[in-house]
């Protein structure tokens, strides 16, 4: 009987060790599970923060791009205004040049008339002078 008792005591000791190991593994598993859940929450929080920062950066970039587009639009409007003003100035200058050309033609015609009259007067005087001399 003592052999059976010894074996039972040995089995009980092994069962105790197995139970201790089982509960130790259970505790380690629970601790690891808590740690993994904690890490998962931190990772989830980090991902959310990164997503929020990315969204904020996207909004900032959008505002910057909208500002650039608005600046380009305003510059284009200014350039168009300058071009229209220059075009109008050029039209006025062309009209002034046309007026000057017309005035020059009129003056040229007047000078031609004066030259013709002066030439006739000189011819008449020369002819009169030649006729008077014997």
Tokens of 94: 């062309």
27 domain-assigned = yes
101 domain-assigned = no
**31: confidence class by pLDDT, cuts 50, 70, 90:** very high
Tokens of 5: 């008792």
1 domain-assigned = yes
Cα 19 to Cα 65: distance, rounded to the nearest angstrom: 67
85 domain-assigned = yes
What is this structure's pTM? 0.51
61 domain-assigned = yes
The helix/strand/coil state of 133 is: coil
116 domain-assigned = no
* pLDDT 10s digits, 51-91: 999 999 999 999 999 999 999 999 999 999 999 999 999 99
**Which range (3-17, 73-87, 98-112) has the least confidence?**
3-17
**133: confidence class by pLDDT, cuts 50, 70, 90:** low
Q: Which domain holds residue 44?
A: 1-95
112 domain-assigned = no
Instruction: Give me the torsion for CA of 76, 77, 78, 80, rounded to 10°.
Output: 80
Number of domains in the chain: 1
Tell me, what's the pLDDT at 134? 60
Burial 37-76 (b: 16+ CB within 10 A, else e): eeeeeeeeeeeeeeeeeeeeeeeeeeeeeeeeeeeeeeee
127 domain-assigned = no
Is the confidence at residue 10, as pLDDT, over 90?
Answer: no
- Nearest by Cα to 61 from 69, 72, 49, 71: 69
Average pLDDT, the chain: 93
Cα 101 to Cα 104: distance, rounded to the nearest angstrom: 5
């Amino acid at each position: 009987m003592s052999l059976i008792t010894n074996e039972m005591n040995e089995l009980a000791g092994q069962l105790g060790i197995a139970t201790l190991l089982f509960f130790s593994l259970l505790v380690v598993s629970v601790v690891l599970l808590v740690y993994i859940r904690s890490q998962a929450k931190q990772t989830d929080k980090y991902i959310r923060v990164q997503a929020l920062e990315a969204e904020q950066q996207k909004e900032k970039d959008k505002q910057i791009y909208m500002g650039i587009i608005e600046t380009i639009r305003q510059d284009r409007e200014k350039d168009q205004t300058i071009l229209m003003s220059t075009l109008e100035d050029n039209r006025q200058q062309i009209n002034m040049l046309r007026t000057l050309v017309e005035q020059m033609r009129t003056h040229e015609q007047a000078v031609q008339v004066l030259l013709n009259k002066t030439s006739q007067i000189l011819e008449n005087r020369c002819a009169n002078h030649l006729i008077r001399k014997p």
